[in-house]
Amino acid sequence: MMTASTFTRHREIAWRGGQTRSTSRLIAEEIAIALTYNGSAHAIMMGTPSDLEDFGIGFSLTEAIVERMSEISSIELVPNELGVEVRMWLEGDRAASLAARRRAISGPVGCGLCGIESLEQACRAPSQVAGRSTAFHARDLLGAMQALSPLQVLNQQTRSVHAAAFWHPRIGIGPVREDVGRHNALDKLAGAMALEGRSAEDGVVLLTSRVSVEMVQKAAMIGAPVLVAMSAPTALAIRTAEEAGITLLAIARDDGYGVFTHTRRVLLPEDAAPRADA
């Protein structure tokens, strides 16, 4: 039976500063996670064996397999010697719709694009984020990113996993989800918010990873108006965020970040240089 632990301890020979010593390190686990719908395999992802119900629900939402969590009639986690199967059963209409557009996704990196039969599916038009008048203070967004690191429990132990989190100016950060795959972490966050009945429309999604196009697509699917990431975006991610109506902030460091799209939602300090809105 595959262990459900999120990490294990491994011995290592450490060579640092010209010195060699025998020690050990906590290492993040990575297993095969099969997502099945109504008895048929749909995707096989490599990921961290935690919050897998969140993962199944979030993946279903961000990949447009369902529009609402209620369209998943049941979900079951079935471990076996190879990994874990996340078994989901859909309501009749959704099951028929999925069968009509059945596609296989299988890949070692959990990118969400492997095996897609049509390029149109990879480059699909993003969902439109509802227009909101809410704007966030630049320093508050920076503070949110700085506050995320201590909340990454698994990463504090292993230094090898990504996190996706939701921040609200009145509530703070939460939930936080982690995974060796950045896409998986975002899917887990989407599922956790759906289970809590929380909307992403009045807050901010925080990422500890780079921003590729599918991260923007997934954020758009859950209606997040602002996306803040630690690393840089791709050009396609920027164009997609622009099209979706998402304010994209990236390369977040201790001293600030870059605002790439829809700057109206970010209230920069008064001493900031004048700028044109996107």
Q: Can you name the residues that pair with 84 across neighbouring β-strands? A: 33, 79
Q: 12 phi and psi, to 5 degrees?
A: -145, 155
Residues 41-70 as b/e (b if ≥16 CB within 10 A, e otherwise) read ebbbbbbbbbbbbbbbbbbbbbbebbeebe
Rounded alpha-carbon distances, angstroms, from residue 142 to 6, 219, 258, 274: 29, 19, 11, 20
Contact criterion met (CB below 8 Å) for 98 and 20: no
Tell me if residue 123 is catalytic.
no
Largest CA distance in the chain: 64
Contact criterion met (CB below 8 Å) for 75 and 91: no
Structure tokens that stand for 255 in this block: 């001293």
111, 114, 135, 151: which one is catalytic?
111
Structure tokens that stand for 204 in this block: 């901010």
3-state secondary structure of 176: strand
Structure tokens that stand for 24 in this block: 């050990």
Instruction: Identify residue 256 by its one-letter amino acid code.
Output: G
The count of other CB atoms within 10 Å of the CB of residue 19 is: 7
* Helices 182-196 and 52-62, axial angle in degrees (round to 10): 90
All residues at 6 or more sequence positions from 171 whose CB lies less than 8 Å from its CB, including other chains: 203
Question: Catalytic residues, which ones?
Answer: 111
